[in-house]
């Protein structure tokens, strides 16, 4: 008889997009994740996790989940000695999913804190708990330009602060784990969207965000046409065609032809579970698509879904000071930080990932999958709380949330440790909470 897997996975970033899906998958497999995180905006970690369990429809398995409010930047994760010791006694593997995903230079300090400075504490936990493995969720884009092997980073060229800090984090994970003899893996997903089968998502970033932005621009001009006879629309040749499609001339300026490497979250989860099932220390796994869509294909998806036409890719040096119409100006500002990912020509080596299971490939992002995901987003009002919003869903446009969704190492109030817990009063286990 096969013995039940009793490993307890300590999981950071569980209130973010990837982490929450991973938490759900672990629970469904009967595992007992220990969620490490913090309270936010007056909501305890336990309550935040409970909302997510409801969204995943697994609240009945809440008893499997424990939470501990921690501060990754503090010694002993901000816990009292006895709390920390109790935590160490429980954890058998660690999945570090928390991350600050902001790109902008002005977020450098926060990104460095979250992605780099928070590492020693959580890696130290791996040592103190004698964890069997430390799994680090990175990004496929740390590899920099050129071929992307499933190997330690060589490149020192990065597109933004996010890539740079994640690359530094990978180096530290490898160095620190090796030093303390903790086996580790690094997984590198590309850009993740919703569930390819159900279309569901509890975050509406990246792909969703761009589609929503185009939808909002469309609505602005449809409004102008219906309310004021298209006074502003006419100035830039926006009009309704005879077939009811909105003609919306919008050039997107890209440096070169390329593709966008997108994977659905269900694929990310499947690969992660396989990694957890049979990890190989020091291995790096690319969770990417072998058949990335071109920007033109994605633009066509958007046009079809939104009922617009007129999106055009312009390759080269950008507008070069030429006049852009207002939608172009705004949309290209939106796109600017993502340009490296829209004109990607990299091919990601997937040898290690494919070795996990035969035929392990990301599902194709067909129009059907795209439409399913976007329809779900529309029903959920893009997480704005105006539509059929599910508990635990956050809007892509929630101010300050969009790019910082998975950060879990902020400066949690020390006094919050130990509060709001309903876990049996076992003294040393104060600060942790088991969901019931």
Partner 1 sequence: MVTKVDEALSIAGNCRHYAMCKVDFLGTGVCASGIERGYVSFYPEGRMDLYAALAKGKVPVTEKCVEIAQSCDLCGKCDYQCCFVTGLRPTRVMEALKSHVARHLAAGKPVAQADADPFLQSIRRIVGDEWATNDRAIAVTYSHDPSPLAVPALPRYVIMPGTRQEISSLLKLLGSAGIPWVVRGNGTNLMGFELCEGAVIDLNRMKEIEFDEKSWSVRVGPGVAAFELQREAAQRGYRVNVAEPAALVCGTMMCAGIVSLFSTAYGSCADNYIDAEFVHTDGSFFSLNKKNAPSLFAFDRAGAASPGVCSSLRVKRRPMTGDESGALVPFDSLEKAVDFSRDCAMRRIGLAIGILGPEYLSSFMSPTQRTAVEVKDALARKLGIVCMVLVLGDRYAMASLKEMGHPMIGQDLFKVLSLGLPSLGTADWLEFIAGLPEEEPFGYLKGGGFTDLAEAALCPSASRLVRDFDPDLRPLYEEIYSRPDLTDLVWLNMFRITSSRIGREKQFFPFLMYLPLDHTLIDDVCTGLGSIALRYALKNDLGFITPVDGGKRCVLEYDYFLTRTTEMKWTGYGRPRLRPAPR
Q: Which is nearer to partner 1, 214 or 369 (CB)?
A: 214
Candidate residues 18, 36, 213, 272; the one interacting with partner 1 per rule CB under 8 A = 213
Q: Which two tokens stand for residue 42?
A: 């007056």
Q: Which is nearer to partner 1, 223 or 351 (CB)?
A: 223
Candidate residues 227, 320, 415, 425; the one interacting with partner 1 per rule CB under 8 A = 227
User: Residue 291 half-sphere exposure, CB side, CA atoms within 13 Å?
Assistant: 9
Residue 410 DSSP code:
S
Q: Which is nearer to partner 1, 59 or 224 (CB)?
A: 224
Instruction: Give the integer Cα–Cα distance in Å for 136 and 340.
Output: 23
68 three-state secondary structure? strand
Torsion angle in degrees (nearest 10) through CA of 413, 55, 139, 356: 130
If one asks whether residue 217 binds partner 1 (CB under 8 A), the answer comes out as yes
If one asks whether residue 403 binds partner 1 (CB under 8 A), the answer comes out as yes
Smallest distance from partner 1 to CB 222, Å? 10
Candidate residues 92, 112, 384, 416; the one interacting with partner 1 per rule CB under 8 A = 384
If one asks whether residue 387 binds partner 1 (CB under 8 A), the answer comes out as no
Phi, psi of 342 (to 5 degrees): -90, -20
Task: Please name the residue that has the structure tokens 């569901």.
Answer: 200
Instruction: Give the integer Cα–Cα distance in Å for 6 and 3.
Output: 9
* Residues 6 or more apart in contact with residue 61 via CB below 8 angstroms: 27, 28, 53
The sign of the dihedral angle between the CA atoms of 151, 94, 164, 292 is positive
Q: Are 155 and 105 in contact (CB under 8 A)?
A: no
Instruction: Give the integer Cα–Cα distance in Å for 116 and 161.
Output: 11
Over its C-alpha atoms, the chain yields an Rg (Å, rounded) of 22
Q: Which is nearer to partner 1, 184 or 341 (CB)?
A: 341
Q: Which is nearer to partner 1, 355 or 384 (CB)?
A: 384
Candidate residues 402, 421, 430, 434; the one interacting with partner 1 per rule CB under 8 A = 402
Q: Which stretch binds partner 1 (CB under 8 A): 71-79, 100-108, 287-295, 422-430?
A: 100-108
Please name which of 263, 257, 266, 264 lies closest in space to residue 190, comparing C-alpha atoms.
263
Query: Total binding residues for partner 1 by CB under 8 A?
Result: 39
Candidate residues 237, 277, 329, 368; the one interacting with partner 1 per rule CB under 8 A = 329
Q: Which is nearer to partner 1, 67 or 233 (CB)?
A: 233
Residue 134, classified by CB atoms within 10 Å of its CB into exposed (0-12), middle (13-18) or buried (19+), is: buried
Q: Which stretch binds partner 1 (CB under 8 A): 137-145, 146-154, 392-400, 420-428?
A: 392-400
Instruction: Give the integer Cα–Cα distance in Å for 327 and 333.
Output: 10
Q: Which is nearer to partner 1, 20 or 324 (CB)?
A: 324
Candidate residues 240, 273, 334, 339; the one interacting with partner 1 per rule CB under 8 A = 334
H-run or E-run covering 303 = helix 295-306
If one asks whether residue 336 binds partner 1 (CB under 8 A), the answer comes out as yes
Pair type for strands 66-69 and 93-96: unpaired
Candidate residues 17, 158, 221, 285; the one interacting with partner 1 per rule CB under 8 A = 221
Smallest distance from partner 1 to CB 397, Å? 4
Restricted to residues 297-326, the positions that interact with partner 1 (CB under 8 A) are: 324-326
If one asks whether residue 235 binds partner 1 (CB under 8 A), the answer comes out as yes
Q: Are 23 and 35 in contact (CB under 8 A)?
A: yes
Candidate residues 198, 223, 411, 422; the one interacting with partner 1 per rule CB under 8 A = 223
Instruction: Give the integer Cα–Cα distance in Å for 21 and 55.
Output: 11
Instruction: Give the integer Cα–Cα distance in Å for 23 and 98.
Output: 13
Q: Which stretch binds partner 1 (CB under 8 A): 131-139, 170-178, 297-305, 327-335?
A: 327-335
Smallest distance from partner 1 to CB 159, Å? 13
Q: Which is nearer to partner 1, 220 or 428 (CB)?
A: 220
If one asks whether residue 103 binds partner 1 (CB under 8 A), the answer comes out as yes
If one asks whether residue 162 binds partner 1 (CB under 8 A), the answer comes out as no
Query: Residue numbers of the site for partner 1 (CB under 8 A)?
Result: 103-106, 209, 212-213, 216-217, 219-221, 223-224, 227-228, 232-233, 235-236, 324-330, 333-334, 336-337, 384, 395-399, 402-403
């Amino acid at each position: 008889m096969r013995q039940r897997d009793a490993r307890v996975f300590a999981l950071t970033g569980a209130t973010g997009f990837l982490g929450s899906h991973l938490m759900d998958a672990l629970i469904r497999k009967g595992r007992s994740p220990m969620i490490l995180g913090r309270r936010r905006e007056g909501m305890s970690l336990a309550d935040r996790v409970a909302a997510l369990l409801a969204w995943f429809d697994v609240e009945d398995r809440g008893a499997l989940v424990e939470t501990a409010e921690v501060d990754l930047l503090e010694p002993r994760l901000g816990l009292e000695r006895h709390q920390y010791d109790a935590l160490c006694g429980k954890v058998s593997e660690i999945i570090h999913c928390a991350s600050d995903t902001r790109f902008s230079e002005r977020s450098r300090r926060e990104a460095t804190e979250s992605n780099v400075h928070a590492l020693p504490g959580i890696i130290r936990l791996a040592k103190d708990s004698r964890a069997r493995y430390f799994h680090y969720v990175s990004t496929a884009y740390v590899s920099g330009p050129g071929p992307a092997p499933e190997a330690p980073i060589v490149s020192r060229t990065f597109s933004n602060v996010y890539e740079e800090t994640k690359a530094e984090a990978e180096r530290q994970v490898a160095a620190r784990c090796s030093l303390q003899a903790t086996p580790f893996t690094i997984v590198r997903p590309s850009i993740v969207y919703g569930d390819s089968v159900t279309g569901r998502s509890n975050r509406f970033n990246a792909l969703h965000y761009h589609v929503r932005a185009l939808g909002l621009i469309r609505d602005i001009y449809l409004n102008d046409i219906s309310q004021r006879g298209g006074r502003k629309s006419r100035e830039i040749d926006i009009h309704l065609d005879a077939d009811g499609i909105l003609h919306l001339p919008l050039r997107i300026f890209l440096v070169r032809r390329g593709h966008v490497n997108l994977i659905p979250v269900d694929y990310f989860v499947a690969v992660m579970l396989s990694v957890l099932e049979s990890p190989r220390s020091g291995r790096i796994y690319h969770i990417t698509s072998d058949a990335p869509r071109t920007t033109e294909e994605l633009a066509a998806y958007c046009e079809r879904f939104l009922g617009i036409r007129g999106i055009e890719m312009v390759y080269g040096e950008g507008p070069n000071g030429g006049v852009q119409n207002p939608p172009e100006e705004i949309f290209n500002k939106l796109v600017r930080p993502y340009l490296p990912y829209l004109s990607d020509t990299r091919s990601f080596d997937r040898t290690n990932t494919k070795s996990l299971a035969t035929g392990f490939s990301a599902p194709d992002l067909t129009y059907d999958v795209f439409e399913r995901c976007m329809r779900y987003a529309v029903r959920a009002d893009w997480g704005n709380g105006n539509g059929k919003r599910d508990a635990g869903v956050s809007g892509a446009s929630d101010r300050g949330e969009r790019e910082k969704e998975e950060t879990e190492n902020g400066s949690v109030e020390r006094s919050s440790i130990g509060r709001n817990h309903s876990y049996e009063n076992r003294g040393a286990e104060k600060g942790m909470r088991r969901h019931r």
